[in-house]
Amino acid sequence: APPRPAMSEAYFPVGPGLGPEENFLSLEDILMSQEKLPGRVEAAVPRLAAVLGKGAGAGQSDGVPEGSKVEIPLWLAKGLYDNKRRTLSVELPKIYKEGWRTVFSADANVVDLHKMGPYYYGFGSQLLNFDNPENPEIAQTILQTFIGRFRRIMDSSQNAYNEDTSALVARLDELERALFRAGQKGLNDFQCWEKGQASQITASSLVQNYRKRKFTDMDG
């Protein structure tokens, strides 16, 4: 029988989804879906109190009274949200409201995204699932914030050996941290190849996965 692969070879991290769609095999998306979203209960939902960890008192049902404000995990908010039945109305977290959108448009680099929300881009994209009239502005701000911060992040990742980048990394959201690590790895791999410490340059995992999907589509 062929030898079993080592654990490090058997596991391939699954990346997060894009836009309003989640990847249910992605650890990052699972963690992001636990982030709380402010909302208001518009109709009785059985057993909602138990799900939220708000055990009903003596003589009370396990529902949450209509009109109650709640902090609800994203995954549950998406499951309960229904435009027609109006079971739940969703409010924007403050970092996505107009006041903060103005701050981002002025200078996105000054914002500590990790402190405000470690999944700023992913969580903000998920908000587009809810029918909010400000969705176009939210989407535009998310895109412009990413563009505005991208160059500084990648420049710093390429100069990681010459400057202390710990303060910058601490202010990045999880997507930006992944980009920073990718930039560092690319620089390190190139320098190793330049010094003759690597026998060859190999295709990145992104390219390899793209080729696999392409061949699968052709076989289908």
Query: Beta partners for 73?
Result: 36
Give the pLDDT of the chain (220 residues) as one tens digit per residue.
555 555 555 567 788 877 788 888 888 888 999 999 999 988 877 778 777 776 655 445 667 888 889 899 999 999 888 877 778 889 999 999 999 999 999 999 999 999 998 999 999 999 999 989 999 999 999 999 999 999 999 888 888 666 778 888 999 999 999 999 888 888 888 878 877 766 555 666 666 666 666 666 656 5
Residue 7: φ, ψ to 5°? -60, -40
Q: How distant, in Å, are the alpha carbons of 19, 53, 177 from that of 145?
A: 15, 35, 15
Question: pTM (2 decimals)?
Answer: 0.76
Average pLDDT, the chain: 82
- Tell me, what's the pLDDT at 186? 84
Give the whole-angstrom CA distance, residue 118 versus residue 35: 9
Give the whole-angstrom CA distance, residue 188 versus residue 157: 10
